[in-house]
Amino acid sequence: MKYRSTRGQVSGQSFESVVLEGLAADGGLFIPEQLPTLPADWQTAWAELSFPELATELIAQFVGTDLSHTEVSQLVQKSYATFDTPEVTPMVQLDARTHVLELFHGPTFAFKDVALQFLGNLFEFFLERRNAQSGGHRLTVVGATSGDTGSAAIYGLRGKKNVEVFILHPRGRVSAVQEAQMTTVLDENVHNVSIEGTFDDCQDIVKELFSRSEFRREHSLGAVNSINWARILAQISYYFCAFFALRRSHGADALPAFVVPSGNFGDILAGFYAQSLGLPVAKLVIATNANDILDRFLRTGTYEKDASVAATPSPAMDILVSSNFERFLWYLARDHEVPSSVVDPEERAARACEILAQWMDRLKTAGSFSVSPAALDAARQVFWSGRCGDAETYSTIAAHYSHEPSYLLDPHTAVGVHVAETLRPEIQALGAHVHSVCLSTAHPAKFSDAVLRAVNDAGHQLDFDSILPAPFVGLLEKPRRCFESENSADAVAQHIVDVAQSK
């Protein structure tokens, strides 16, 4: 199993190298050179596996010779032992054909724990193995967060040997609980950095630091955002898990239509890879908030940045540019933009890299690019999309809280549920055997202000203490450590240098 960059200048990379490097040297994202073929009997052989067992089988398809099956299993078991339920990602039924896949049972109560607990253990394993062969290997992990990635990365990497982690977050643009989850972790290898700006500013700084080849080599930079392929790989597992859970509860012909709250596109990209591996999926549905670049692309065929980020009740989705969309665009270019007269697979891949690089350049210089009608039609065959405004977010939370049985949604999950309900006629038209599975990305206690506003404004009462997870009790009063930086890559780079020199 080898990996290439979407931009075409890097190929033939091992799983270990793409995990530790994160972002390709040419600025592209790593993708498998070829997708593996699952065992012919996977639908029966894997049907009764536990989540860790299923994750082991899937991840093992992508690691080549870098990890043995036993090593994958040990890493997976260690990663998901931190979750509060043996199911890891249980599914809850809202109505006859609508379900919520709860992805928030990890240490930070967000879906990103599924990937980042595993990624943290991968980092530590590969570094320890390298140091056993020749000492001196360390990793400086630099990441940007709109809220949940930061705490999940910190909890996945705190105390890890040979790893320093720097997490950038936009000052005042994450929830109080999210900020406290990050900044109250005082482990010596954890460094929080607040930036005066938006998540996109933080993400741009991270990409700029990775583009500085000398700085990158000197500090052994590693990526923890979903630009890291291992993040996407780990998330594929819960799509298969939900598929099997749905069939166990609703019969052998039950088929999921996954509805995914989408910001940086990593979560639903894992669904695209699951479908590409052969998972039967009725439809993948992108649910956006007011920052709707993905929804607009599927309506128009033009990928265009807005002038500014809208602040919404679902802040983890307040993103102008969805970084992971580049991976899907590469496949779109290869299959629908490269002329059909080009038949050699490697030549088609090379042409796709060229087209993708041109698109990314246009996005950077002009703020937008457009795909061909054929490519847009192909994207619509894979994805549907819908948009949810702030008022709809609040009303969806209130409606499901007051419904019998009551279910409390966080604002990001509410975006997905609203879009699922809006598209209910279209989803039901796919067949009586199709069920909406809405991915629930965070525990509602992480967004207390939005949840309480939704419930109280609708005239209902909520005893918030009754839903508060034990780790959240007293969290806001704990001591904190955070470095306040100006909005510049130079300032953040200097902070990393200062920390390294102080060690």
**Alpha carbon distance 357, 352 (integer Å):** 8
Element (H, E) at 496: helix 489-502
Q: Is 194 helix (H, G, I), strand (E, B) or coil?
A: strand
Parallel, antiparallel, or unpaired for β 30-32 and 383-387?
Answer: unpaired
Taking Cα atoms as reference points, which of 371, 389, 391 lies closest to residue 379? 371
What string of DSSP letters covers 217-282?
Answer: HHHTEEE-STTSHHHHHHHHHHHHHHHHHHHHHH-TT-EEEEEEE-SSSHHHHHHHHHHHTT---S
Q: Are the C-beta atoms of 295 and 289 separated by less than 8 Å? A: no
160 catalytic? Reply is no
**Alpha carbon distance 423, 413 (integer Å):** 15
Amino acid at residue number 406? S
The residue behind tokens 């690019």 is 369
Buried/exposed 35-72: b ≥16 CB within 10 Å, e otherwise: eeebeeebbeebeebebbebbbbbbbbbbeebbeeeeb
Q: Are the C-beta atoms of 224 and 255 separated by less than 8 Å? A: no
Parallel, antiparallel, or unpaired for β 302-304 and 368-370?
Answer: antiparallel
**Alpha carbon distance 40, 488 (integer Å):** 51
Q: Are the C-beta atoms of 199 and 144 separated by less than 8 Å? A: yes
Taking Cα atoms as reference points, which of 467, 469, 459 lies closest to residue 409? 467
Q: Are the C-beta atoms of 283 and 384 separated by less than 8 Å? A: yes
The rounded Cα 162 to chain-centroid distance in angstroms is: 25
Q: Are the C-beta atoms of 19 and 119 separated by less than 8 Å? A: yes
Q: What is the chain's length? A: 503
Element (H, E) at 447: none
Q: Annotated catalytic residue: which of 112, 160, 283, 446?
A: 112
Taking Cα atoms as reference points, which of 266, 270, 279 lies closest to residue 240? 279
Q: Are the C-beta atoms of 28 and 7 separated by less than 8 Å? A: yes
Q: Which residues are catalytic?
A: 112
